[in-house]
Amino acid sequence: MSDAVLSLAGVKKSYNKGLANEVNVLQGCDLTLNAGEVVALVAPSGSGKSTLLHIAGLLDEADEGSVTLAGTDMAGQSDRRRTAARREDVGFVYQFHHLLPEFTALENITLPQFANGVSPEAAEARAMELLTSVDVAHRASHRPAELSGGEQQRVAFCRALANAPRVLLADEPTGNLDPATSDTVFEALMTLVRGSGMAALIATHNLDLAARMDRIVRLEDGVLV
């Protein structure tokens, strides 16, 4: 047995199937992510990075192939099981933070823990610990609109890690930031991931950032190489 936390095998996905404008985005993707491994997903815009991450994170379903999360093949599972697995085992970060605007930074990180049955005291302690590790503890009571882009994204990372998922999926997490901010925010993400022992798959255009990860996979013509 390996310590694979996420495996994709023969994953295929097309849009507009059967229509004249059918696009075969993923044409048989295979990938194994082991615990503690940080992998860069590099490909030009429009090649299917988001599609792949959404399928891996159970936000979308493949047409063919399997997604195995923490040893369970998710393909045949009920929506309920998929939702529970997504909540417990997967952290997702988008290019834009997607924080809830009416809640504070702290609340954005405690809410997903409440959904998992964590007590308010424990959830707050966990949120503060995460915020501290990415140097935004002093912004805990601020709402997203009162934070800089880099701070918003760091809070979004904390939210994604709140329930200590086995795997973090990040879709161009620093793509919206200027280069200098992008660099420090990426370092914050790496600190969180390395401190947790989780696996991470991080889509990026930035080859400097990709080079700082353990391994690079490229999406070329619908397959991972």
Residues in contact with ligand ADP by the rule CB under 6 A = 15-16, 23, 25, 43, 45-51
Per DSSP, what are the bridge partners of residue 14?
A: 24
Binders in 49-88 for Mg ion, by CB under 5 A? 49-50
Nearer of residues 2 and 16 to ligand ADP, judged by Cβ:
16
Burial (CB < 10 A; 0-12, 13-18, 19+), residue 182, is buried
Nearer of residues 48 and 106 to Mg ion, judged by Cβ:
48
Other C-beta atoms lying within 10 Å of the C-beta of residue 122: 11
**Ramachandran sector of residue 47 (left: φ over 0; alpha: ψ -120 to 50; beta: rest):** alpha
Contact between 206 and Mg ion (CB under 5 A)? no
Nearer of residues 31 and 109 to Mg ion, judged by Cβ:
31
The Cα 161–Cα 94 span in angstroms is 13
Q: Which partner in ligand ADP, Mg ion, none is near 47 (CB below 5 to 8 A by kind)?
A: ligand ADP
Nearer of residues 52 and 158 to ligand ADP, judged by Cβ:
52
Q: How far is the CB of 144 from Mg ion (least distance, A)?
A: 22
Q: Tokens in use for 140?
A: 């805990």
* Chain residues in the site for Mg ion (CB under 5 A): 49-50
